[in-house]
Structure 1
Amino acid sequence: MKYLIKIISAFFLVLTLLTAVGCASTTKHEGTGEYVDDSVITAKVKAQLFDEPDLRSGQINVETFKGVVQLSGFVGSQANINRAVEIARSVSGVKSVKNAMRLR
């Protein structure tokens, strides 16, 4: 009976470890927690851009991967690009900002 309990315990230990490894992140894939964090960062950046009256935030795309925010889209001036990058950098949790925005 004790032998059966040890086998069942070992099975659940292995199952737990495999589940934890399955949720871990790699260089190309985010873990579950990182995905949630990145979603929050993206929402915060979009909200800050939306609050800026000079920017057309609907034309700026925001994507976040492991804390790195990428801004893309078309804006009217270099000043708008600089302001959007500045806004993105000011959001907590942002590690860096990649600027892929273009002038119209």
Structure 2
Amino acid sequence: MQNRKLIAPFFAAALLSLTAASSFAADAATAQADKPTVTQKAAVAVDDSVITAKVKSALVSDKEVSALKINVTTKQGVVILTGAVPNTEAGDRVIKMVAAIEGVKDIQNQLQVKAS
């Protein structure tokens, strides 16, 4: 009888420990699910570089804008364009070309009009 009295508190403590541990593990799993993995980060970087390459390729292949000096960077699908264009029409043409490229989420137009 006395053994049962001693075992009951230990059993209850063990049960509480298991409950707390499983709750902690669930919280840790949820927190990990919210954080991007290394693979996911690499996929975003690859996607960004692919988008940048597509934009640069489109700019080079277009006879009207290929001679323009436009710098292209991409961060999480947002294309950032810097450089100079000779007029607003050329800038608008570049924006339309970039907007048509698959994977582009947004465009930050930092192009400046500088007549040559």
Q: Same fold (TM over 0.5)?
A: yes
Larger of the two Rg values belongs to structure:
2
* Larger helix percent: 2
Tell me the number of residue pairs that the alignment of Structure 1 and Structure 2 aligns: 81
Counterpart of 1:55 in structure 2: which amino acid? V
Cα deviations across residues 21-68 of structure 1 (Å, max 9, x unaligned)?
A: 66177xxxxx11100000000000000011111114551000000000
Cα separation, partners in 2 of 1:44 and 1:79, compared to 1, 3 Å: same
Counterpart of 1:91 in structure 2: which amino acid? I
Task: Name the counterpart of 1:36.
Answer: 46
Identical positions, percent:
33
4+ runs deviating over 6 angstroms:
none
TM-score w.r.t. length of structure 1: 0.70
Gaps of 5+ in 2: 1-31
TM-score w.r.t. length of structure 2: 0.63
Are 1:82 and 2:97 an aligned pair?
no
* RMSD (CA atoms): 2.1
Gaps of 5+ in 1: 1-16, 26-30
